[in-house]
Amino acid sequence: MERYAGAFEEAVDGTRQQGRHYQLLSALQSLVKELPSSFQQRLSYTTLSDLALALLNGTVFEIVQGLLEIQHLTEKSLYNQRLRLHNEHRVLRQALRQKHQEAQQACRPHNLLVLQAAQQHEQEAVEHRIREEQRAMDQKIVLELDRKVADQQSTLEKAGVAGFYVTTNPQVAESRGPWIPDI
């Protein structure tokens, strides 16, 4: 009798699992309908079904939550680095303005035009350096974000989530999104 009760529970559990799979598949299909048609074409029924199966197991949610936390920490860190650089540049500009004002106040009138020309040249050199530092920082940020995207792709691929693999092809990566969206 116990053997039959166990088999019945397994059948009920299997039916419940199948019902949940269909619910998830239906939800994924609804989400896909909201996408532009070029993206819809890339997501076959099989891929969506495989994604629904992966979602049945709570492990994928835990993985995504972990990746999301890492993503947020990375974004915050990169933002703070860029903000620090911006503040350093602001302080540098203020110090240069102060230095120039003091020099102009101490300057004799007949040397003022020469001093102003030198200061203009110095100002342009500083602005050029600031632009280059900002460009270098922005490139560093983009490379770091690209590395994080590849890490996310790799992690989801290793977890067996359908449709995920490491790529640097922007057209393929764009269709899957550069980051995990907030849940």
pLDDT tens for residues 64-115? 999 999 999 999 999 999 999 999 999 999 999 999 999 999 999 999 999 9
For 53-74, letters b (16+ CB in 10 Å) and e give bbbeeeebeebbeebbeebeeb
**In the chain, % of residues over pLDDT 70:** 85
Rounded to two decimals, the pTM is: 0.72
